[in-house]
Structure 1
Amino acid sequence: MFKSLVLRVFAVSLFVFGCSSALAQDKANYAYLGLEPEIVTNYISDSAQKLGYVRVSLELMIHDVNQLEIAEHHMPLLRSTAIEIFGQQPAEKVKSLTGREDIRRAILKALQEHMQQETGGEVIKNVIFTKYLYQGA
């Protein structure tokens, strides 16, 4: 009876540790790629007399290390897309935390769509702002 219980506990622990190591291996395949240099661009200001600008550092989370070269090849398209999206944002969105998250999601969606069109696969998993500064009226 005791021997059977010990064997069951051992079997369950092997299963649990095996699953956690498999998950760790899946996560280990991600790569990160920074958009260098950081993005500095204007956004739509409330006042026509003053320009607002944003300065942002972006990191792209790539699905697989093997796709890193593909993402680097398409870097001009990725940078251009991020700059274009920031340039279309109103001041309220740029300055608020919820607006910042909306901008991040819009950039992520646009980058994923572009990479789907260009490569036929989803290359970019996530977009991370590592620096976010704005100034304007």
Structure 2
Amino acid sequence: MAKKETAKAAAAGEGAAPGKGKLKLIILLVLGLLLAVGLSIGGTWFVLSKGDQAEPAEAASSAAPVRQAALYQELMPAFVVNFNYQGRTRYLQLSMALMSRDAAAMDKLKVHMPVLRNRLVMLLAGQDFAALRTPLGKEMLLQQALASVQELAQQETGGTVVEQVLFTNFVLQ
């Protein structure tokens, strides 16, 4: 009989050990999950609270240079240029606007509008019609026009004045 009781106790001990192992594994997994969530929340709080402390310094530095409102100067009338392309006469009609943030400098540049328009007409007339049909060709023309306008502005007013040249109408025919 003693052998039977010892065998039952041994069987009970073997049966209990796997159950306790699963319970320990579940507890460890839950603790690991809680630790990960806690670290995530703590890290987020740390980053956000550090950002709040940095804001007043950034606000003070960004408050000093106030960005001026954009001013637009339409170049009227529209530019019309003809091209000889594959034995046919083709046309480009282009309306442009200049963007600046300095009204006084823009007024100084307006005095030189005939020279500016002449430069732009010469630039447009020198373009390849096939290239202007592509988006890349239009973008290149836009960059060339900006460089030409800024070069004239630098010569005549002492500053670049114009931030952007905008095509407000672009018709190839």
1:86 shift after superposition? 0.9
Alignment of 1:46 with 2:85, yes or no, is yes
- Aligned position for 1:64: 102
Aligned length: 126
* 2:92 counterpart SS class: strand
Larger relative contact order, structure 1 or 2 (CA cutoff 8 Å, min sep 6): 1
The answer to whether the 8 Å contact 1:42/1:86 transfers is no
Structure-2-length-normalised TM-score: 0.63
Give the structure with the larger helix fraction: 2
In structure 1, stretches of 5+ residues that fail to align are: 1-7
Alignment of 1:12 with 2:12, yes or no, is no
Alignment of 1:32 with 2:72, yes or no, is yes
Query: What CA deviation, in whole Å up to 9, does each residue of 1:25-77 have, x standing for no partner?
Result: 22x2542211011111113x3323x1111111111112412212112111111
Structure-1-length-normalised TM-score: 0.77
**CA distance in structure 2 between the partners assigned to 1:101 and 1:19 by the alignment:** 35
- Aligned position for 1:112: 150
* 2:94 counterpart SS class: strand
What is the Cα-based RMSD across aligned positions, in Å? 2.4
Larger radius of gyration: 2
* 1:57 counterpart SS class: strand
* 2:85 counterpart SS class: coil
